[in-house]
Amino acid sequence: MKNHKILLIEPPFYRLFKETYGLVRYPLSLGYLASSVKAGVDWDIMTYNADFIPASDPFEVTYFKGAGFARYRRTLCDISHRIWQGIRDVISGYAPTVVGISAKSSTFASVLRVAGIAKTINPEIVVIVGGSHPSAVFSKTFDTTGIKGGQVNRTEAGDEVSCRDIDMFVAGEGEETIVALLDALERHKSPDRIRGIVYRKGEDLMATLPGRPVKNLDALPFPYQYAPYVLKDYEIYPLSAFSNVFATRGCPYRCLFCGSRNVWGRGVRFRSPRNVVEEILNLQSIGINDIHFGDDTFGVTTPYLQALCQAIKSSCPGISWSCEIHVRLVNDKNISIMKEAGCFMIQVGIESGNNEILKEVRKGFTIDEALAACNIIRNHGINLQTFFMAGFPQETEASLKDTAKVIEEVECEKIMYSIFTPYPGTEAFELCRGKGMIAPDYDPSLYCHQSPENCFCVNLSHERFRKLSSRIEETVVQKNRAMRSRMEQSERTHT
């Protein structure tokens, strides 16, 4: 039926911290789902990034001063806030048959709020939630979201949000699943044969067989293909909002804290270089010449990395691009080939400055190897950004000092610093739960990378960890400001 409508929503998160924060990007998850729906079924569709503002300040929440996080909590609980009113207006105005919401563990409280708004507007709306959070916990999603009883918070007016407002969860990759679900809903058929879902059947919860990864990634429509026709407020998005590209799905590495395998599976699947190049050319045709590869690690293997770079170099003149890469793939030949293909910035996840911690969290390299990789990248004239994380369960004062020392010494253009957070479905989560550091009423909305509540160190008290980590944070903030000032001065000198 042509009257059927689906509204896909990215829930607010950054906007909850501060009015000038936002996700100035069209989420690839919404883009891929929307393109698959347009190509697969005759439904009207709208995508809505509820975390979007036209221009955003750099997201710099100070973890231990807590002001930004306090605002996040207040806004999350204030159902009268204009952010929630705006979402209410969009849902009411579009009047969808189905609302699909993308969920990470850190955004799950916001997801529940959006689901509650949809059901308040029209209880007949089918609310479907997909993404990394339901993928991580799958058949236990409704009762082990980490929120006791499914309830996340209650306002002074007695308003509450809960999993009861969600009709169905989708685990894993959703492009094929959403098309099958919409077809089943349109035909009033049971979804029991659709893999990778948990759904309500009366008072019962039904889980189907696990879903299968998309076999042929080249067969998927490009995520931005239908953006001009389906994305709310498309006309006020900057072109840079459409510049993210995935060349692969999956990661061969086994970092203790990463949940990537819950979404993509344990193997790695590759788009053909030709297919990636075709997408880049489409982006260049609308004026985008600066893209970012959002892969867990760019290239994954040396043969694929080199083949992809050669294809980009040959077919996409004028393109500039950035990516994240694993230390093990960094060598002079690979980085030289990447540079020739247009790579101007590389991100490297170092995480810790202590070799024992790196071994415990299974990063697969030593600190000396990581710093050597950083030097290779910089020697080729490519900008470098580094990731560091503090607060692993095995952390000690000595290991934190090692991390602080490396942060002070590493030469790069920007440092991204975060506090370790054990997300549901990861081995780190199970480790922390086994050590009694995760309570039965664990609330993911309290434990994101921006939370001052975070402390999952066996060997350090919360107070001591806060003190040591805040010192590291201050070093990072000061160093980033100095590096930004130098870059701005250099740009002024050359113009």
88 CB-contact burial (10 Å; exposed 0-12 / middle 13-18 / buried 19+)? middle
Report if residue 224 sits inside a domain: no
Report if residue 179 sits inside a domain: yes
Rounded CA gap, 254 and 261, in Å?
Answer: 9
Report if residue 456 sits inside a domain: no
3-state secondary structure of 374: helix
Report if residue 221 sits inside a domain: no
Report if residue 453 sits inside a domain: no
Tens of each residue's pLDDT in the chain, 495 residues? 457 999 999 999 999 998 899 999 999 999 999 999 999 999 999 999 999 999 888 776 555 555 688 899 899 999 999 999 999 999 999 999 999 999 998 899 999 999 999 999 999 999 999 998 888 876 555 553 433 333 333 333 233 446 889 999 999 899 999 999 999 999 999 999 999 998 988 888 888 988 889 999 999 999 999 999 999 999 999 999 999 999 999 988 888 888 777 777 778 999 999 999 999 999 999 999 999 999 999 999 999 999 999 999 999 999 999 999 999 999 999 999 999 999 999 999 999 999 999 999 999 999 999 999 999 999 999 999 999 999 999 999 999 999 999 999 999 999 999 999 998 888 899 999 999 998 877 777 778 887 888 899 999 999 999 999 999 999 998 999 888 887 777 666 655
Rounded CA gap, 99 and 96, in Å?
Answer: 7
Based on the domain organization, do 88 and 157 belong to the same domain? yes
3-state secondary structure of 49: strand
pTM higher than 0.95, yes or no? no
Based on the domain organization, do 43 and 109 belong to the same domain? yes
Based on the domain organization, do 203 and 274 belong to the same domain? no
28 closest CA partner among 296, 196, 222: 222
Based on the domain organization, do 282 and 186 belong to the same domain? no
Report if residue 65 sits inside a domain: yes
- Please give the structure tokens belonging to residue 2: 């042509």
Rounded CA gap, 341 and 315, in Å?
Answer: 10
Rounded CA gap, 451 and 69, in Å?
Answer: 6
Beta bridge mates, 9: 48, 101
Contact between 433 and 424 (Cβ < 8 Å)? no
Rounded CA gap, 373 and 329, in Å?
Answer: 9
Contact between 165 and 115 (Cβ < 8 Å)? yes
Based on the domain organization, do 197 and 292 belong to the same domain? no
437 closest CA partner among 449, 420, 414: 420
The CATH number of whichever domain residue 338 belongs to comes to: 3.20.20.70
Based on the domain organization, do 203 and 292 belong to the same domain? no
The parent domain of residue 324 ranges over: 243-420+461-493
Domain end, chosen from 191, 207, 223, is at 207
Based on the domain organization, do 187 and 329 belong to the same domain? no
Total of domains in the chain:
2
The CATH number of whichever domain residue 40 belongs to comes to: 3.40.50
Rounded CA gap, 246 and 122, in Å?
Answer: 36
Domain end, chosen from 207, 229, 262, is at 207
- Please give the structure tokens belonging to residue 289: 């010449």
